[in-house]
Amino acid sequence: MRRIMIAAAALAGLVAVAGCGAKAPNLDTQATPDTAGKALAQSAQMADGVTTYNADLVVDFADGKQGTGHVQGTMLYQKEPLATDVNLSQVSYSGQSFPGGVRVITQGDIAYVKLDVLKTLVGATKPWIKVDLKQLGQQAGVNVDQVLGQAKQLDLQTAVAMLTASNDVKQVGKESVGGVDTTHYSGTFPVQEALKLLQPSVQDQLKGQLDNVKDMKFDSWIDAQGLPRKIGLDGAAEGGTFKATMMFKAFNEPVTIQVPPATEVGELPQGTAMGN
């Protein structure tokens, strides 16, 4: 039980890291010539120029061997200096829920994790725990690179760039998303071709998770400025499924992401399974 709970904290942190963003994809040879394809290419270029945004995230996944999971929450993203604030109000995995959810604030390589169950699991005395995400993942038995690869799909730039590999995208219609008029596009993209559009470092993170997925279904809602307001991804492989919905808003507006006060931050207690 303790191992699973703390692993969830690592997963939450990796979702936060996913907000680091991919660099501009190479679109010249991949953008399809039709109107819908051009709209996706334009959206990817616009997304790369976004410096801040808010997002609502919902992820449902299933593994035939380990059960199902559900994650729901919000994210604040700031490009310079790099910082994210992820507040996952609902987290459950294999029938176990996490009271109070998980909140993770990242600045650089350091994450500040707020997870209520840590108080009883490892004797934490402060509301927040300061951790190195990779070290936390290794000690919890979590393959950080694999989890980061899956979480990376939630990043605005990466998700939109991968859509441009589609050869069958079509316009569905006009719809309102969060009070904003958008055009709805739908299609599939070949995962291996989509990976080629990303920077090498991002490709390495994603390959382990997506090697067995041939095609990914997607829906994208793009506003009049070419910015993606909503993205849905739906994939399956070897008995497992992954479904994510991301709603983006407040592009390039000021955000405030602050680490918690030092008086509220502690280290993982010595002598625990996760302590140093």
> Encoding tokens for residue 201?
């470092």
What is the pLDDT at residue 143?
Answer: 47
Largest CA distance in the chain: 61
Is pLDDT larger for residue 231 or for residue 146? 231
Residue closest to 160 by CA, chosen among 41, 14, 18, 4 = 41
Measured CA to CA, the distance from residue 229 to residue 215 in angstroms comes to: 23
pTM of the model as a whole: 0.76
According to DSSP, the β-strands at 265-266 and 128-132 are parallel
pLDDT range class, residue 53, cuts 50, 70, 90:
very high
* Domains annotated on the chain, with CATH: 2-266 (2.50.20.20)
Does pLDDT of 275 surpass 60? no
The half-sphere exposure of 162 on its side-chain side, counting CA atoms within 13 A, is 29
pLDDT tens per residue, range 211-220: 566 678 999 9
Look-up of token digits 């991919």: 22
Mean pLDDT of all residues in 150-169: 75
Task: Check whether 148 has a pLDDT greater than 50.
Answer: no
Task: Supply the pLDDT for residue 9.
Answer: 44
pLDDT above 80 (res 190): yes
More confident residue, 197 or 90: 90
Encoded tokens for 138: 């290794």
How much of the chain exceeds pLDDT 90, in percent? 26
For 59-113, what is each residue's pLDDT tens digit?
887 776 767 888 888 989 888 887 888 888 888 877 777 777 888 888 766 788 8
| Dist CA 18 CA 59 (whole Å) | 14
3-state helix, strand, coil in the chain (%, to 5): 30, 35, 35
Residue position matching structure tokens 């994939």: 235
Which residues make Cβ contacts (< 8 Å) with residue 261, sequence separation at least 6? none
If we measure between CA atoms, which residue out of 148, 197, 160 comes closest to residue 18? 148
Identify the pLDDT of residue 106: 82
Identify the DSSP state of 48: H
